Amino acid sequence: MIFESRYAWGRAYRDGALVCGRVHVTIGRDSDRLGRMPHERRYVTACFRERVDGELRAELVALVRRRGAAARRVAETLSPVEIVVDDPDGGRQHIVGRLQPPELRCGDLCDIAFAVRELAS
């Protein structure tokens, strides 16, 4: 069962350079992930809505086109992405992680949600 879903807008960066100007971010907690600490139950997905850098676009297409182990191998080679989320209270949240293959691969690239595997800080 999934609790505490939150939707927000943010921007994606790599090495300090903007790679996507508008990212729709979903942050939630999955209570079915037993045996994990509360902070490990968090999941993050990102939809890259507009102004996607050419290199990032090629990587997203590669993740969408491949399946299974091939897609996971591609995901492991990608550079981490930093997503800066603007909180409604005026603060900012930084999420650093590697993009993972999407569960649903249909539709336009801007409509596909990619899981973000957060890296240890």
Sorted by where each begins, the domain ranges of the chain are: 2-118
What pTM value is reported for the model? 0.83
Half-sphere exposure of 12 (CA within 13 A, CB side): 26
Contact 119, 95 (CB under 8 A): no
Residue owning tokens 């609790």: 3
Return the minimum-mean-pLDDT range out of 7-11, 17-21, 37-41, 105-109: 37-41
Tokens 């676009």 label which residue?
A: 57
Looking at residue 1, what is its pLDDT?
46
Please name the residue ranges forming H helices in the chain: 54-65, 68-77
Question: DSSP character for 80?
Answer: P
Tell me the average pLDDT across 110-117.
92
Q: How many CB atoms lie under 10 A from the CB of residue 42?
A: 16
Q: Is the pLDDT of residue 74 over 60?
A: yes
d(CA 95, CA 80): 10
> Where does the pLDDT of residue 91 fall: very low under 50, low under 70, confident under 90, or very high at 90 and above?
confident
